[in-house]
Amino acid sequence: MIVPASIVPYFALERWAPLLLLLLLGGLPLVFDPGPASLYDEVFLLPKTLWLQLLIAPAAALMLWVYRRQLRPFPWMLGMFAAWLMLACLFNEGGWSRNVTGPLDRNDGLLTHLIYVLVAAAFLAWTRAHPLQALEWTSKMLLMVAGLCALVVAAQQFGLLGTLGGERLGGIEAMRGGGTLGHRGYMGGFLALCLPLAFYRCVRGQRGAAGIAALLTFALAATWSRGPWLAGAAALLALVLLLPRERRSVAVWARCTFAALLGLLLFGLSVLWGPQARSLEGGSLTDSSGRTVLYRTALEGIAQRPLWGWQSDGVLLAMHARDPREVVAEIEGRSLPPQARLRVESDPRSDSYMARIEGYEKDLVILTTDKVHNEYLDYAVSYGIPAALLFVLLLGAALRSAVALPAVAAALVAYAVYLLTWPEVLRFAPLAWALLGLALPREAWRVKPPGLQESAGSGT
């Protein structure tokens, strides 16, 4: 039942539980530990993991309890997704203990995915009770955090700020353009998620909207990452297609075009100004970045274990089960000479693939990526085809429900496209699941509440 937010007492949990969860979710992309550490993961991954498990999860549980009556009718699709992941962890090769935490350089095993579901369920329940409040507060939080992240990226692109975390010995390497998320691909994914929210504010002509849209456009370009670029472009296209006719005026097109061109112009100036995050020379923006071996391995692994998958980082187990000559040839991008003798030295349950080669120009070939970099294939190879199908159905149901909310739907399109070439990472995934939960309750958006388009100051 929809309850006007204005009648909720000021000190009631119904008001403060959502604020607490939004505050903690907003802090997730920003938190990192700049102190002494030997690994990049201790700078970025560990603080965000603790933030997610010790702060966000309890806050989401609190909000779900506060709005527990809104769980009728029960969100069966979310429940089925969580249940299948748990069943897969019981029956696949990894076993319960390995699957719960996932690979140590990701921490995205069963526990993390259950927290994603918890966050989505909490937002679903809140949205059923107060749809306009959930829409407005969530959008404002995302844009505020995205603006702060974009400023950090801008400082890095102009050479005013170095790579956060400095030089470490190992882990997922921090890069210029990665800001407080560490990796530029992750930062690009988060900015692509928020980009349509900014441009919809521009569509509505809200004060300062063109500036925030230009800033996010510039920062997204400055991540130098193709997958996020594609996701951002897909989001803006979806936003254009979903805009109601009355919004498609010359003034709207002029404002949005100005914001986009301003952001791209700033990016061009930054390239001329100082050090770039990624060179256009040497084919670095046109190669496969090692994804060929990951995709082929995932497809072969799925064919071998279609029901329960392998384990939470199943692509590495599947890779160790393949012909090593094929794997090394795909990693190297060329076939090995017949005289080359090859021996796999890594353990199937390790976090990398390592092969020793004799009679070849390289003595050692190492692949340290333990995610497919296509989340749909990753779900299938890790937890079985049903897990991937349920995830796609969740995204599809949220998109169908959010047709009345152009910016939210476009943001979900950005996330869906981003996951075609990048993994789902806990560094910002809970914010995407919050949007998914907000969009899922179709009954809240089937008939637009009065003032949906004009009263929600969030710009969505």
DSSP calls for 350-380:
SSSEEEEEESSS-SEEEE---S-S-HHHHHH
Note if the bond before 73 is cis, omega within 30 degrees: yes
User: Could you tell me which residues are beta bridge partners of residue 343?
Assistant: 356
pTM of the model: 0.92
Which sign, positive or negative, has the C-alpha torsion 319, 325, 326, 329?
positive
Please tell me whether residue 310 adopts helix, strand or coil conformation. Answer: coil
The two structure tokens encoding residue 345: 């030295």
**Spacing of C-alpha 220 from chain mean position:** 14
Domain annotation covers residue 420: yes
**Residues 56 and 138 grouped into a single domain:** yes
Please tell me whether residue 315 adopts helix, strand or coil conformation. Answer: helix
Q: Can you give the pLDDT at residue 174?
A: 87
**Residues 258 and 340 grouped into a single domain:** no
**Residues 334 and 203 grouped into a single domain:** no
**Residue-wise pLDDT tens for the chain (460 aa)?**
555 555 555 557 888 999 999 999 999 999 999 888 888 999 999 999 999 999 999 999 999 999 999 999 999 999 999 999 999 999 998 777 789 988 888 899 999 999 999 999 999 999 999 999 999 999 999 999 999 999 999 999 988 888 887 778 788 888 889 999 999 999 999 999 999 999 999 999 888 899 999 999 999 999 999 999 999 999 999 999 999 887 788 889 999 999 999 999 999 999 887 655 444 434 455 556 778 899 999 999 999 999 999 998 889 899 989 988 888 888 887 777 777 788 888 887 777 888 888 877 677 888 888 889 999 999 999 999 999 999 999 999 999 999 989 999 999 999 999 999 999 999 999 999 999 999 999 888 875 544 444 434 344 5
Domain annotation covers residue 201: yes
**Residues 350 and 383 grouped into a single domain:** no
**Residues 259 and 147 grouped into a single domain:** yes
Whose structure tokens read 């882990």? 171
**Residues 268 and 163 grouped into a single domain:** yes
Domain annotation covers residue 284: no
DSSP state of 284: T
Cα gap 129→278, rounded to integer Å: 46
DSSP labels for 41-103? HHHTHHHHHHHIIIIIHHHHHHHHHHTGGGG-S--HHHHHHHHHHHHHHHHSTTHHHHHHH--
Cα gap 211→323, rounded to integer Å: 53
Residue 331: give the domain boundaries: 314-367
**Residues 133 and 265 grouped into a single domain:** yes
Q: Can you give the pLDDT at residue 280?
A: 43
Cα gap 410→231, rounded to integer Å: 10
Residues with Cβ within 8 Å of 14's Cβ and at least 6 positions away in sequence, in order, are: 8, 66, 67, 129
CB 183 within 8 A of CB 235: no
CB 151 within 8 A of CB 190: no
Q: Can you give the pLDDT at residue 1?
A: 52
Q: Can you give the pLDDT at residue 363?
A: 77
**Residues 358 and 214 grouped into a single domain:** no
**Residues 61 and 138 grouped into a single domain:** yes
Q: Which amino acid is at 163?
A: T
CB 164 within 8 A of CB 180: yes
**Residues 325 and 397 grouped into a single domain:** no
**Residues 13 and 115 grouped into a single domain:** yes
Domain annotation covers residue 301: no
Please tell me whether residue 39 adopts helix, strand or coil conformation. Answer: strand
Q: At what angle do helices 226-242 and 209-222 cross, to 10 degrees?
A: 150
**Residues 247 and 149 grouped into a single domain:** yes
Domain count, the chain: 2
CB 352 within 8 A of CB 370: yes
Domain annotation covers residue 226: yes
Domain annotation covers residue 296: no
Domain annotation covers residue 111: yes
Domain annotation covers residue 238: yes
Which candidate, 142, 14, 148, 12, places its Cα nearest to that of 69?
14
The two structure tokens encoding residue 291: 């994804």
